[in-house]
Chain A
Amino acid sequence: MNTLDSNEKLDLRGVLCPINFVKTKLKLESMEEGQILEIALDAGEPIQNVPKSIKEEGHKIIEVKKENDHFRLKILKR
C-alpha cells in the first residue's frame, strides 16, 4: 500500500477507550470528505475497539502500520 499524506494527525497513545474514539470522531467531523486523518493507537483494548467503531461510522481505514507497542492508522473521511 502506498504511503498517503495525511491532512491531520492525532496521537492517541495513552488515551483510554472510549475517549480515543470520541477524539477521533470529533477530529473527523471537523474535516472535509476525502481528507485523511492519521492516528497513533495503543495495542490491546484501543486497537481492538477503535477500528470497529470507525468502520461503523462509515469511514475507511486505508493504512495500518505496527510500530513497536502501538499502531499507526490512516483514516479516509467519508
Chain B
Amino acid sequence: MDRFIEDKVNKVQVKVGGTEERVNFNDLKSGGFIKQRQKDLFTVRLRCPGGRISTEKLIGISKIARKYSKEGVVHFSFRQSLEILYVDYKDFDSVVRELEEIGVKVASCGPRVRVPTACGGCEYNPNGLTDTQGLAKMVDEKYFGIQCNHKFKVSFSGCPIDCARTKEMDLGFQGVVEPVWYEETCTGCTICAEACKEDAIHSDSDTGKPIYDPMKCIWCGDCIRACPTESWQAKRYGHIVRVGGKHGRHPVEARPVAMFIPDDKVPEVIEKTIEWYNTKGTRGERIATLLERVGIEDYKEFMEGVFNSGSPVREGFK
C-alpha cells in the first residue's frame, strides 16, 4: 500500500542543482527523472542522440550506474537512450553532477522536443544514404527540450528500409537517392534489374539494358551500388519528410509531405514545423491530432517555402 501513499505525497524536500527545494514529483518527469513503482526510487533517463555513446562515456556511465542504481541495472529505452534504474531521489544532485563531469546530460520527458533517434546512416552502414548520426546530433544540440503542445519525436532513417521508423514519428526524415542512368558505359549486364527489389528496372530482351519505371522506384540506390560499370549514378540525395505519426494506444501513420529535401534544409523544416504546431495546436494536442483537426493542406501551405527545396510527393506514395 506504500505506493498509494507515496502517490499522494508528491512534494518532497530534495537537493537538485545544489539547492534545497520543494520538488514536485510530477514536475521531475520534465527533467528526465521518472517515478518508479518503488518508494523514493526513480529512473534517470540519459541523453544519447542517435543511440551513439563513446566507449569512454559508457565506462563512466556504468560506474555511476553501479554507484547509484539500488539494483545495479540499466535499461535501453525505446528511443535509444540509457536509463539508470532504481535511483533514490535524494541522490539526484550527485548523479547529475557526476554525469555532467563525464559530459553526459539527463534527457527529458513531457511536452517538448525529445532526444532524436537515428540508424547508423551513411557513416558505416552500406545501405545508408544520409548522415543520420550527424543530423541527430545537430537536432539534439539545437532543438532538444523546446516546449511544445505535447511530446515531439524526431527520427532519421538513412534509407527506405526505415529502421528508425519515420512513419511513427511526429516528424521523420528518411534518406533517399535519385538514380540516373548513363547509356554509354552500360554493358547490358542486367545486374541492376536483378538487384532492384521494387521491380522498377527491367532489362531489354535484346540489349539487356535497363528500362526504368520511376513510378515504382523508392530511391534506395541498390541499382547504383550493384552496377559494375558505374552506369547508374546518384543524381541527388535527400530526405523524405513524414509528419504526424505516433505509436501508443492509438497509432497513426505519418504522412509523407516532401521528398528530396537536402541536408541543409532539415533545420528549417524542423523549426517551421514546430512553429506551425505551437501556433495552430492547443495544449496537450499531438501534431497527429492537430493535422486531423485542421487538415494537412494548412500545414503544407505553411511549409511551402522550405518544401520547394525538394520535390512534391509522388501520387500514392506512402
Q: Which residues of chain A have a CB within 8 Å of any CB of chain B?
A: 1, 43-44, 47-48, 51-53, 55-56, 60-62, 64-66, 71
A64 touches B187 (CB 8 A): yes
Count chain B CB atoms within 10 A of each CB in A53, A61, A71 and give the residue with the most. A61
Q: Assess whether B66 is interfacial by the CB under 8 Å rule.
A: no
Stretch in contact with the other chain, from B24-32, B71-79, B191-199, B301-309: B191-199
Distance, CA A60 to CA B228, complexed state (A): 7
Determine the chain B residues whose CB is within 8 A of the CB of A55 once the complex forms. Answer: 225-226, 228
Distance, CA A51 to CA B232, complexed state (A): 14
Q: Assess whether B222 is interfacial by the CB under 8 Å rule.
A: yes
B187 touches A52 (CB 8 A): no
Nearest A-chain residue to B225, judged by Cβ: A52
Distance, CA A75 to CA B189, complexed state (A): 14
Count chain B CB atoms within 10 A of each CB in A44, A48, A56 and give the residue with the most. A48
A1 touches B197 (CB 8 A): no
A64 touches B191 (CB 8 A): yes
Distance, CA A44 to CA B193, complexed state (A): 11
The A-contacting residues of B in range 209-260, CB under 8 angstroms, are: 222, 225-226, 228
A47 touches B189 (CB 8 A): no
Determine the chain B residues whose CB is within 8 A of the CB of A44 once the complex forms. Answer: 194
CB distance from A4 to the nearest CB of B (A): 13
Distance, CA A24 to CA B113, complexed state (A): 47
Nearest B-chain residue to A66, judged by Cβ: B190
B228 touches A48 (CB 8 A): no
Count chain B CB atoms within 10 A of each CB in A44, A47, A53 and give the residue with the most. A47
Q: Which residues of chain B have a CB within 8 Å of any CB of chain A?
A: 126, 187, 189-191, 194-195, 197, 208, 222, 225-226, 228
B191 touches A47 (CB 8 A): yes
Determine the chain B residues whose CB is within 8 A of the CB of A66 once the complex forms. Answer: 189-190, 208
A56 touches B228 (CB 8 A): no
B226 touches A64 (CB 8 A): no
Known contacts A43-B194, A52-B126, A64-B191; 14 additional CB pairs below 8 A are A47-B195, A48-B194, A48-B195, A48-B197, A52-B222, A52-B226, A55-B228, A64-B187, A64-B190, A64-B228, A65-B189, A66-B208, A71-B191, A71-B194
CB distance from B104 to the nearest CB of A (A): 34
Within 8 Å by CB of B191, from A51, A60, A62, lies A51
Determine the chain B residues whose CB is within 8 A of the CB of A43 once the complex forms. Answer: 194
Q: Given A51-B195, A66-B190: A61 and B126 within 8 A (CB)?
A: no
Count chain A CB atoms within 10 A of each CB in B187, B222, B228 and give the residue with the most. B228
A52 touches B195 (CB 8 A): yes
Determine the chain A residues whose CB is within 8 A of the CB of B194 once the complex forms. Answer: 43-44, 47-48, 71
